[in-house]
Every structure is written in C-alpha cells, then in structure tokens.
Amino acid sequence: MSDLRLLYFAWVRERIGVDDEEVPAPDPDMTIAALLDLLGERSAGHASAFGDRTRLRAALDQQFVPLDTPIGTAKELAIFPPVTGG
C-alpha cells in the first residue's frame, strides 16, 4: 500500500505550517471528512485548519470532490479554502 500525499493551500497551509505531508494510504472506504477528523488530532494547527468544514474544499487526484467522498485509491488529496473569482 502506498502513501497518500496531502497538499495544503492558502490559510490551510499557514495554520498547519507545511505545504504538504504524506500519510499511509487510508482504507479506500474512508471519506475525506473522516481523514480530516484523524488529521485534526495531529496538532493545534491541524485542528484549527480542519475545524470548520464549511470553509474547506478538496480535490482527489486533481478532481474537485465533496468532503464526504471516499478516498478510494487516490494518490493525492488537496485541501484548500473556497476559491472566488473576480
């Protein structure tokens, strides 16, 4: 089983203090939200970044998905705030 690469952007990255990290690949049925629950226990920065799920968006292998999406066999998970255009 390979690792899952986590990428953090904008204020999510600032709160956690790193651009990215790798974790052991979770069970394919685990949702992104469930993984964020586990990651929130890593540090105060993780807890702060993942505390308000309404302020987060996700992409699995560069495809936008809802947080209740199972991770499946994805190799990369990006977490970022909503993007607004002008």
What is the mean pLDDT of each successive set of 10 residues along the chain, which is 86 residues long?
A: 92 96 96 97 96 95 97 97 70
Q: What pLDDT, on the 0 to 100 scale, is given for residue 83?
A: 74
Q: According to the model, what pLDDT value does residue 84 have?
A: 57
How confident is the model at residue 18, as a pLDDT? 96
| Domains assigned to the chain | 3-80 (3.10.20.30)
pLDDT at 2: 85
Measured CA to CA, the distance from residue 21 to residue 76 in angstroms comes to 10
pTM: 0.92
